[in-house]
Structure 1
């Protein structure tokens, strides 16, 4: 799978690498040397898959959304990551990384979070493993994701509201990296997406690849074939998308369609559509596409979704888009909200606003009646109810 996956130097084509302060060199080098040995170790796998089954509730169902399928004239299956413990795909990764941190002798866990789902998943596994947990979250996101902040605090995490910059995910990540630089010996940084210095993008993709592992088995049972015609997911940093497509990357007949957040429109100046607007640069230890001004200053992204409100993109996704392995569509706030209400009305499922961006793809594509489409429903909408209610009142 080398063609689309990371090479031994930590690059996907021209994207990736590890651009880090010297003080973190030993930590990242240690991780790079050990992560594959650990996650391939039979003892680790036994513990990891055991927790995924008994604690998270995997495998998550692959649900044939009949009324949605009828509307779009094809067979649409939803991969129900919203049914996991903590309500999203993020827990797949945090369980793997906390087991890794424990094996490396780390006692203090830090994390960044936007929508709060990764923060909740990190706080959850820290409670489970009895480890100290500090979560950095932009002050803007603390306001708009209050329920998740309260969950993290109840789980015993310290939530630090970050007031620099746009006070969103980028700024939370900056603060987490500063903390890591100050406490390199006892601290493990659980990154929540396929971003950051190598080996994080590859490690997170591998831990999330349980999603596509299950899709293959479940499609075989339901359709008599392991391979769908289309895979659809939303992409910010890119972890649910990476997990959904991982075991299909080399099967070129599978069309990969990803949704990034267009905010108020690609050319509105208020958008987070990095693949459409980004230029090559370095952010959070990785060379990738990012939204920046002509003189290289990072531009503040905007999206109604706290989880997609990031000025960069995981290096794997930058490479897939550049090589045309994936098609990336920009879905606006209004399109995502309309798709969320549509799913709720047709299937009785309230999606996270991030997942609603993936659902927004359906209206933008023409499908054949025999097409089998698998869409990753990455999270549930409890955390977004205030946004949904406000929108419903404006209609």
Structure 2
């Protein structure tokens, strides 16, 4: 395994969410720990991304697609009823209103455009909750590409609606039967497959994880969330900036994109993990899926299984930039359990008429728990990123209610 260029890159003092070092490091995290056969593929993606991100034509094309296809900007919705009940001002950034029903489309449109620029005609992806898979299948259909999505067998069963959506869009869904049969194993299989076809296939990673440049690149494609929310909060709030910015964290792409818009402000940044997959609070430094970060491990240093009612948070690691922000004290990471999550989903539905994804309900569950305490005092102003809609989770909730 090779951590390309890390030994040549001197660490630099972090200034929040900036470009990583030459070796793809955020402080002590990140890097490129991949088989030799993928070193060149990752370097090619990095070179292509740097060129594209510096090309005004590429940025204009992506911005145009976000507006006319993805439906951006997404709304900032005041949660009037919950705000009154909790004694805070709660504003919800509505990524559930983006095309395909989640924030995933922001990243996938960028990576699909990049793949086409690189001359690739096939996308592969991993998915847990299915939302990244749906977004990948959608972009592949739009650009006339083939798509193959790897998904843990357990997630195929509990996210049958999204599997059907991917198939309808023309993508091949490959059930992964190894390990826990969830997101970790789907990512393993996608990376193994990429080794065999990197010359003509683009691996579209769905979160701020994986080898460099993916954590940085995905954050940049997702920063549109934070930039829009920053401008919307400025128009909505007398203080312009909320006191707290809250988002759920698995790999952490919606949180990274949101935090990028507020990292240079006074807002407290709160990332909310699943109690059964809390890599930031329960993990140790290790390597998973080509990057170094905080990872759930057993007593022998092996990757431990994560467990969550939300398939998108059922992951044993966390994006390296989140680990770095935690070390700096710039962001704080907390966890909530499944019962709190289900209760939060139902409360949002019944008070605001918004049906959110189980992943997104993690962020709300912390707000409900913390409101009125020293963590979230009465009178606080809170921006909460609602990363996706809850249609996909209705079968799981029905099963839980039996």
Q: TM-score, normalised by structure 1?
A: 0.95
In the alignment, structure 1 segments of 5+ residues that lack a partner are 263-270
Q: Which residue of 2 aligns with 1:383?
A: 392
Deviation at 1:369, TM superposition (A): 4.4
Match status 1:256 vs 2:261 = no
Structure-2 separation of matches of 1:379 and 1:17: 29
Q: Which residue of 1 aligns with 2:131?
A: 117
Deviation at 1:135, TM superposition (A): 0.3
Residues 1-395 of structure 1 aligned to structure 2 (within 5 Å)? 2-5=14-17, 6-251=20-265, 253-262=266-275, 271-365=276-370, 366=373, 367-391=376-400, 393-394=401-402
Secondary structure of the structure 2 residue equivalent to 1:361 = helix
Deviation at 1:225, TM superposition (A): 4.7
Say which is worse superposed, 288-297 or 348-357, in terms of deviation.
288-297
Say which is worse superposed, 358-367 or 41-50, in terms of deviation.
358-367
Structure-1 separation of matches of 2:239 and 2:73: 18
Deviation at 1:384, TM superposition (A): 0.2
Deviation at 1:344, TM superposition (A): 0.5
Secondary structure of the structure 1 residue equivalent to 2:245 = strand
Deviation at 1:370, TM superposition (A): 3.7
> Please, what is the CA RMSD of the aligned residues?
1.3
Q: Is the 8 A contact 2:14 2:27 kept in 1?
A: no
Structure-2 separation of matches of 1:36 and 1:248: 24
- Superposed CA deviations along residues 230-280 of structure 1, whole A, max 9, x for unmatched, are 1000000000000111122132x2101111001xxxxxxxx1111121111
Deviation at 1:28, TM superposition (A): 0.6
Secondary structure of the structure 1 residue equivalent to 2:64 = helix
Q: How many residues align?
A: 384
Structure-2 separation of matches of 1:31 and 1:224: 43
- Superposed CA deviations along residues 187-210 of structure 1, whole A, max 9, x for unmatched, are 100000000001100000000000
In the alignment, structure 2 segments of 5+ residues that lack a partner are 1-12
Q: TM-score, normalised by structure 2?
A: 0.93
Q: Is the 8 A contact 1:123 1:152 kept in 2?
A: yes
- Superposed CA deviations along residues 166-213 of structure 1, whole A, max 9, x for unmatched, are 000010001100110001100100000000001100000000000011
Structure-1 separation of matches of 2:258 and 2:364: 15
Say which is worse superposed, 290-299 or 184-193, in terms of deviation.
290-299
Structure-1 separation of matches of 2:157 and 2:44: 37
Deviation at 1:229, TM superposition (A): 0.9
Structure-1 separation of matches of 2:133 and 2:253: 14
Deviation at 1:363, TM superposition (A): 2.5
Structure-1 separation of matches of 2:378 and 2:280: 30
Q: Is the 8 A contact 1:351 1:380 kept in 2?
A: yes
Secondary structure of the structure 2 residue equivalent to 1:295 = coil
Structure-1 separation of matches of 2:350 and 2:247: 20
Deviation at 1:68, TM superposition (A): 0.9
Structure-1 separation of matches of 2:277 and 2:347: 23
